[in-house]
Amino acid sequence: MKTPCPAILSIFQRWQAWLLQAMVLTALAACSLPAGHGGLSAAPAPYVQGIYQGSYTYGSAYHKLAGKTVPFEISLKQARGSSRIRGVVRESYTGFGTLQDGFVWADITGTCESDAGFTRLKFTKTYRQSKEPPVNYSGSLPPGSSLLSGTWYFPSKPSDSGMFQISNMHVP
């Protein structure tokens, strides 16, 4: 039996090596894409980076403030493909938090995930320069809507809670 031409064998071996590298890179890329729940997923995390207007409303546990709506501005940062979000909230002073430059400032960290077409945000708001405890927020944006709404509460005292909304949210 005759041995194949060395040039053809060399081309075939390079093609095989290239094909193997392409398959490995594809597999690695799929594993490195952050999914909503930390594992492999067909749906990437929704991208919500931007500056939005919102408001929260005090619940009945706040007697004098119950039903009062407080406007805020929220700036969200997010790396494409990541479910992690962080940002800053600027809100009016209502007796909670520490007034600085005419507003109360807070930092947020949390997640943004997709679930059955809904975009779900969960984050913790921590007031700057204040002894107020962190506040948890959990809300969802229905498919085709631009109004995310949900509830806020203190983890140590869930009865101290209320509603919130964020307007004009766009999810590409």
Q: How do residues 94-106 score in pLDDT, each as one tens digit?
A: 887 888 888 999 9
Distance CA 164, CA 114 (A): 19
- What is the 3-state composition of the chain as percent helix, strand, coil, each rounded to the nearest 5? 20, 45, 35
Ranges of each domain in the chain: 50-166
Instruction: Please check whether residue 166 is in contact with residue 53, taking contact to mean a CB–CB distance below 8 angstroms.
Output: yes
Question: pLDDT confidence of 139, banded at 50, 70, 90?
Answer: very high
pLDDT above 70 covers a percentage of the chain that reads 75
The pLDDT of residue 23 is 43
Mean pLDDT of 18-29: 40
Q: Which residues pair with 74 in a beta bridge?
A: 52, 89
Instruction: Please check whether residue 111 is in contact with residue 83, taking contact to mean a CB–CB distance below 8 angstroms.
Output: yes
Distances (CA, A) of 17 to 24, 31, 151: 11, 21, 54
Mean pLDDT of 68-82: 95
CATH architecture of 50-166: Beta Barrel (2.40)
